[in-house]
Amino acid sequence: MNKIIASFGYRAVMSASVMALTIASASSVAHAQVITSEIGGYVTNDNASPIAGAQVTITNTTTGFVRTVTTDSSGAFQLRNLNTAGLYDVSVSADNFQGERVEGLALSVGSRSSLNFVLGGGDIDDVIVVVAQRQVLGEVAPGPSSIFGLDTLENAPAINRDIKDIIRLDPRVYVDETNSNAVQCAGANPRFNSLTVDGIRLNDNFGLNSNGFPTERLPFSFDAIQQVAVELAPYDVEYGGFTACNINAVTKSGANEIFGSAFIDYTSEDFKGDKADGQTLDNSGFEEIRYGINVGLPLVKDKLFLFAAYEKLEGADLFGANTPEGTGITQAQFDEIIGIAEGQYGYVSGGLPSTVDNEDEKLLVKLDWNINDRHRLAATYNYNDGFSISGSDTGTNRLSDGNHFYERGAELNAISGALYSDWNDKLSTELRVSHLDLQNRQLPLGGLEFGEVQIRNQGPRRTTVYLGADDSRHANQLNYELTSYKAKADYAAGQHNLTIGAELEDFEVFNLFIQEAEGEWVFDSIEDFRNGDFSDFRYENAAGSNNIDDGAAKFGYQIWTAYVQDEWFVTDQLTLTAGLRLDAYTSDDKPTFNQSFFNDFGIRNDANLDGKSLLQPRFAFNYNHTDTMSFRGGLGLYSGGNPNVWLSNNYSNNGVTLFESRTRGGNLGDFTYGGGSGTPFFDVPDSAVAAVAAANGRGPVNALDPEFDIPSELKLSLGTTFELNTGFLGNGYNVNLDALGSFTQSAALYTNLDLQQTGQTFDGRPIFNNNPFFNNFVLTNAKDKASSFTLSGSIAQEYDNGVDWTLAYAYTDAEDVNPMTSSVAFSNYNNISRSNPQDPGVATSNYEIKHRFTFRAGYEVELVQDYKTRLSMFASLNEGRPFSFTYNDASAFGESFRTDNQLFYVPTGVNDPNVIFDGIDTGAFFNYLNETGLDEYAGQIAPRNAFNDDWFAKIDLRISQQLPGLRDGDRASVFAVMKNVGNFIDSDWGVLKQNGFPGSAPLTNVAINDAGQYVYSNFNSNAGEGSVNVGVSTWELRFGAKYDF
């Protein structure tokens, strides 16, 4: 047999007199939350007539897996359920035709590689061999998505060893470093994302963590990942559980040859910046080391393979600002407080630690079994246990004893198994089951023996000193289990690929959260503390029993999913896909009914999701116009991603289960404790225990609107990929352009049942009754519909001299009604700037990043023969977050709690008849309005989020050098990664300035006089400037070593 060898890139066409071949890296749709890939296409002759009965054989060159299918009467072939690990050879043969073979084909997760073969009638002993070249880079999105391969994962400047360091290369994806690296996709709420790894849903299923993970850090080893994809608008009906984006990762698999690597990296206070724009950061005592190993090997050659990855972090959390001097009191005052606590009350101080150790450990094990050429089994086990240390009450006027800190951690155990079967050339099936168990913990460092004690009003800042266990950690435990089942079948019927499937997700929760279960005492001075004279005491527990376990929320629900889809290969250029997905909810668990709440408001508080459902139609097309240009688009409805903690609030806060006893003032000596034998702080007063035992169920309530609709988003997208040839500026540029629209069909929103409107101001905002209780909330749907629009583009090139780069840009215009920033009803309701808290209206979203540029570049060269030197850079430039101008004190409008979130009315001038200026320099005031652009809204309320923080630019670098290994073929390497190079060069560069959470800039105080006029006072001329986030802005350098075998 003779070989004729050619080569192609992912967008190229090779043609010869005997052969023409076209390859596309993405098909009409990318399959959703799928961890496999497909190869499909047509086999025709020189006259474009289909060749039926041709043999198409694929071989995974790393595992030896072989599968053969036969083309049908239309010349079509399909190979499904393929492992993305390794490279594939694809060969085609037919009687009386010259054979062809593609070598070294790499597959992408959830995608279909289209291969169209044209067989000639030349020497049938010849075989045309086409060698696949490496794709430019996965981050050049094939649609409203991005796929990142192993090359990107290994070489990007991923200083955090987190997939977020990778997916941020897509300009539509913004990683908010000020919010635990929350991922914002196209201006959407980070809580509405989904993360799956080998089919296991590993996003924050409950909704407490801003980082989007169920654990403190990435819950699996970074080196375990083979590929990761971000899908913003996929149209396959298998997609579900999100309305923002789906992040889908697959792990490596073992192979016939043993491979693996080990690494270690290190940083410390000597390699961290401590200054940004004049602000300083105390890094004293910081040190962090990470190390890990991964290995893939055959247990039975060509049949059974093992891959395992282990990683550990040993570091420290910093609390250098938690000092008397840093919080506005003297060391002598703090020492006096500790002396009283220890001498009079038996307290054992935890000191003022500047650093506290943290830890993280993870293990992933994967088995792949090629049962035969038609059936394959894959199983993954994932373990993670890690924690960080948090200072609950720290800041410029709060000082916490070390016992008040707490460990925040979780233990995760997850396992999944999938059986992929090709029963014949037409029918393929997938059966999958997975189970996840999470044990979350929040443990005070000093234990629970001593309740929370506050000593207030110390020093010029009226600082509060905190002793004992933080009140929110007195009874705080979260355990949940998520079990998933999936059964899917694909059937090839000529030009149609039919899919039918069913899935079940079973979610069970135990959530215990009771504040002040060990008591909370407040003292207004050191002298009061010495004398035992408290101004406030609170104790909360399960009503009737005083047993914290009785106060836990225990509930579960199921999501039953069914879907059907037709993927129609109309021609070898055009593919249409249409499908339906149905999600239906069932639950036997209802919140405890509260008759008093029903009597007061006429709403039942025991509604759940049982019986709710949503039908989600999907449609997509893909058209390969030429060999170097394709178009894609689609329309689909999506649901999911809403945090389960919002449901849990309804079970915990039913007004019956929990009761808070409060005493406003008294002396410790006036009470008995622990049945007469206890002591204050170690025990709560017997009278408080008795009050909870006799509680009558009149506590605050969170309820689900019985008419609540499942939140959903309609997405519409259109995109193109093409090769750009410019002549004198070069050829072979890969260009991607995408437009994405998202239209809210129903969104979650909290309303407050306690507020009653009593009046209205001249600018139309309501005045309420100033109810001090303000605790009854209903989770309902917003009546207004928001939308968002994203335009994005990228251009990429790779050169023969080792240089490659990608430049990308995204424009986002995103709206919402309520950003829903938090986990509890009270915070979700209040953490928004608005003029009417009951009807916030549609406005620019808190999560919008209007303009974002990204640039990625790499250079690889052998400065020493056979040993590579690699330099990688990532740079980003984006406009700052939106913010609103508000009043600093807006209690005049009748809101009892947060009063800095009422939007600012802009006077028309000094003589505005509706505004009185009290002690304000009006000249300076109106100059400020002109400089900030507030004057554009003269005579009206300045809209929510109509202004933006400063632009932020950042550059990260990674450099690595290969070295000889201990064996032939092994390679050692050393590397260094630097975050925010600009700040390293100049402390005034790379600085992030941002207005405070939730994006508000209080400008003045406001009161309302008898004539209904606003009275402005205390003008803040620095409002809107934002403050420097020193932790994000400072540089960091890590050194490491790696050994590949």
The band of 733, judged by pLDDT with boundaries at 50, 70 and 90, is very high
Buried b or exposed e, range 931-945, using 16+ CB within 10 angstroms:
ebebbebeeebbbbb
Query: Does the structure show a pLDDT above 80 at 30?
Result: no
Three-state secondary-structure class, residue 2 = strand
Cα-to-chain-centroid distance, residue 7: 40
CATH number at residue 34: 2.60.40.1120
Cα–Cα distance for residue pair 982/991, rounded to 1 Å: 9
Kindly report the three-state secondary structure assignment for every residue of 829-890: HHCCCECCCCCCCCEECCCCCCEEEEEEEEEEEEEECCEEEEEEEEEEEECCCEEEEEEEEC
- Residue 488: how many other CB atoms lie within 10 Å: 19
The band of 126, judged by pLDDT with boundaries at 50, 70 and 90, is low
pLDDT at 700: 86
Distances (CA, A) of 91 to 10, 119, 131, 159, 790: 18, 12, 12, 41, 41
Summarize pLDDT for 684-715 with one digit per residue, the tens: 999 999 999 998 767 889 999 999 999 999 99
Summarize pLDDT for 284-293 with one digit per residue, the tens: 999 999 999 9
Write down the pTM of the prediction: 0.91
Does residue 160 contact residue 835 with C-beta atoms inside 8 Å?
no
Tell whether 248 and 282 lie within a shared domain.
yes
Beta-carbon contacts of 1018 under 8 Å, excluding residues fewer than 6 positions away, are 888, 919, 1004, 1005
Tell whether 127 and 164 lie within a shared domain.
no
- The arithmetic mean of pLDDT across residues 196-220, rounded, is 92
Query: Does the structure show a pLDDT above 80 at 364?
Result: yes
Q: What percentage of residues in the chain have a pLDDT greater than 90?
A: 82
Tell whether 644 and 793 lie within a shared domain.
yes
Summarize pLDDT for 647-681 with one digit per residue, the tens: 999 999 999 999 999 999 999 999 999 888 899 99
Residue 460, classified by CB atoms within 10 Å of its CB into exposed (0-12), middle (13-18) or buried (19+), is exposed
CA-atom Rg of the chain in angstroms: 31
Does residue 892 contact residue 899 with C-beta atoms inside 8 Å?
no
Q: Which amino acid is at 603?
A: I
Does residue 14 contact residue 8 with C-beta atoms inside 8 Å?
yes
Residue-by-residue DSSP string for 18-73: TEEEEEES--SSPPTT---EEEEEEEEETTS-B-TT-EEEEEETTT--EEEEE--T
- The arithmetic mean of pLDDT across residues 842-846, rounded, is 98
Beta-carbon contacts of 23 under 8 Å, excluding residues fewer than 6 positions away, are 8, 10, 11, 12, 102, 105, 113, 114, 115, 132
pLDDT at 18: 28
Residue 679, classified by CB atoms within 10 Å of its CB into exposed (0-12), middle (13-18) or buried (19+), is exposed
pLDDT at 15: 29
Examine residue 771 and state whether it is found in any structural domain, yes or no. no
Last residue of a domain, one of 101, 132, 163: 132
Examine residue 937 and state whether it is found in any structural domain, yes or no. yes
- The arithmetic mean of pLDDT across residues 117-145, rounded, is 60
Query: Does the structure show a pLDDT above 60 at 137?
Result: no
Cis previous bond, 998, omega within 30: yes
The band of 321, judged by pLDDT with boundaries at 50, 70 and 90, is confident
Cα–Cα distance for residue pair 414/643, rounded to 1 Å: 20
Tell whether 953 and 971 lie within a shared domain.
yes
Q: What single-letter DSSP state applies at residue 996?
A: P
What's the angle, vertex CA 872, arms to CA 226 and CA 266, rounded to 5? Answer: 80
Q: Hey, which residues does 275 pair with through a beta bridge?
A: 280
Examine residue 281 and state whether it is found in any structural domain, yes or no. yes
- The arithmetic mean of pLDDT across residues 36-56, rounded, is 91
Lowest mean pLDDT among 398-402, 574-578, 725-729, 804-808: 725-729
Tell whether 77 and 37 lie within a shared domain.
yes
Cα–Cα distance for residue pair 134/104, rounded to 1 Å: 9
Q: Which tokens belong to 1044? A: 């590949």
Query: Does the structure show a pLDDT above 70 at 130?
Result: no
Residue 900, classified by CB atoms within 10 Å of its CB into exposed (0-12), middle (13-18) or buried (19+), is middle
Structural domain containing residue 8: 2-132
- The arithmetic mean of pLDDT across residues 167-184, rounded, is 96
Beta-carbon contacts of 878 under 8 Å, excluding residues fewer than 6 positions away, are 174, 849, 851, 852, 853, 951, 952
Does residue 681 contact residue 345 with C-beta atoms inside 8 Å?
yes
Cα–Cα distance for residue pair 834/843, rounded to 1 Å: 10
Q: Which amino acid is at 310?
A: Y
Residue 689 main-chain phi, psi, to 5 deg: -60, -40
Does residue 110 contact residue 142 with C-beta atoms inside 8 Å?
no
Summarize pLDDT for 775-822 with one digit per residue, the tens: 899 999 999 999 999 999 999 999 999 999 999 999 999 999 999 999
Residue 386, classified by CB atoms within 10 Å of its CB into exposed (0-12), middle (13-18) or buried (19+), is buried
The band of 352, judged by pLDDT with boundaries at 50, 70 and 90, is very high
Summarize pLDDT for 478-507 with one digit per residue, the tens: 999 999 999 999 999 989 999 999 999 999
Summarize pLDDT for 998-1032 with one digit per residue, the tens: 999 999 999 999 999 999 999 999 999 999 999 99
Distances (CA, A) of 240 to 195, 339, 420, 916, 927: 11, 58, 21, 54, 51
Beta-carbon contacts of 800 under 8 Å, excluding residues fewer than 6 positions away, are none
- The arithmetic mean of pLDDT across residues 210-221, rounded, is 95
Tell whether 305 and 394 lie within a shared domain.
yes
Identify the sign of the CA torsion 836, 839, 843, 849.
positive
Q: Hey, which residues does 15 pair with through a beta bridge?
A: 20
| Alpha helix positions (H), 694-799 | none
Does residue 507 contact residue 557 with C-beta atoms inside 8 Å?
yes
pLDDT at 727: 86
pLDDT at 642: 80
Cα–Cα distance for residue pair 744/819, rounded to 1 Å: 13
- The arithmetic mean of pLDDT across residues 749-758, rounded, is 92
Residue 503 main-chain phi, psi, to 5 deg: -140, 155
Which helix (H) or strand (E) covers residue 456, if one does? strand 452-458
- Residue 303: how many other CB atoms lie within 10 Å: 16
Lowest mean pLDDT among 143-147, 283-287, 738-742, 949-953: 143-147
User: Strands 287-300, 304-318: parallel, antiparallel or unpaired by DSSP?
Assistant: antiparallel
Tell whether 917 and 1018 lie within a shared domain.
yes
Distances (CA, A) of 94 to 48, 90, 124, 464, 547: 15, 14, 9, 83, 76
Beta-carbon contacts of 360 under 8 Å, excluding residues fewer than 6 positions away, are 216, 217, 312, 313, 384, 385, 386, 387
pLDDT at 773: 58
Tell whether 77 and 211 lie within a shared domain.
no
Q: Mean of the per-residue pLDDT values for the chain? A: 92
Please give the tally of structural domains in the chain.
3
Q: What percentage of residues in the chain have a pLDDT greater than 70?
A: 94
Q: Which tokens belong to 169? A: 């290369």
Cα–Cα distance for residue pair 508/552, rounded to 1 Å: 13
Torsion of CA 162, 166, 170, 175, to 10 degrees: 20
Examine residue 859 and state whether it is found in any structural domain, yes or no. yes
Examine residue 663 and state whether it is found in any structural domain, yes or no. no
Examine residue 532 and state whether it is found in any structural domain, yes or no. no
Which helix (H) or strand (E) covers residue 692, if one does? helix 686-693
- Residue 112: how many other CB atoms lie within 10 Å: 27
CATH number at residue 603: 2.40.170.20
Last residue of a domain, one of 98, 132, 166: 132
pLDDT at 12: 30
The band of 123, judged by pLDDT with boundaries at 50, 70 and 90, is low
Residue-by-residue DSSP string for 169-234: TSTTEEEETTTTTEEEETT--GGG-EEEETTEE-S-SSS--TTSSSSSS-SS-GGGEEEEEEESS-
Tell whether 116 and 198 lie within a shared domain.
no
User: Strands 666-667, 533-534: parallel, antiparallel or unpaired by DSSP?
Assistant: antiparallel
Q: Which of 484, 638, 509 is nearest to 214 (CA)?
A: 509
Examine residue 232 and state whether it is found in any structural domain, yes or no. yes
Q: Which tokens belong to 439? A: 């044990």
Tell whether 903 and 787 lie within a shared domain.
no
Last residue of a domain, one of 100, 132, 164: 132
| Alpha helix positions (H), 465-601 | 526-531, 595-601
Distances (CA, A) of 752 to 659, 755, 826: 20, 6, 9
The band of 336, judged by pLDDT with boundaries at 50, 70 and 90, is very high
Q: Which tokens belong to 789? A: 């629009």
Tell whether 94 and 189 lie within a shared domain.
no
Beta-carbon contacts of 527 under 8 Å, excluding residues fewer than 6 positions away, are none
Query: Does the structure show a pLDDT above 90 at 308?
Result: yes
Tell whether 196 and 227 lie within a shared domain.
yes
- The arithmetic mean of pLDDT across residues 81-104, rounded, is 90
Distances (CA, A) of 433 to 377, 417, 488, 506, 936: 12, 6, 12, 11, 57
Query: Does the structure show a pLDDT above 80 at 640?
Result: yes
Query: Does the structure show a pLDDT above 50 at 8?
Result: no
Examine residue 767 and state whether it is found in any structural domain, yes or no. no
Q: Which tokens belong to 669? A: 């000596």
Torsion of CA 896, 897, 903, 909, to 10 degrees: 60
- The arithmetic mean of pLDDT across residues 518-546, rounded, is 97
Three-state secondary-structure class, residue 543 = coil
- Residue 773: how many other CB atoms lie within 10 Å: 8
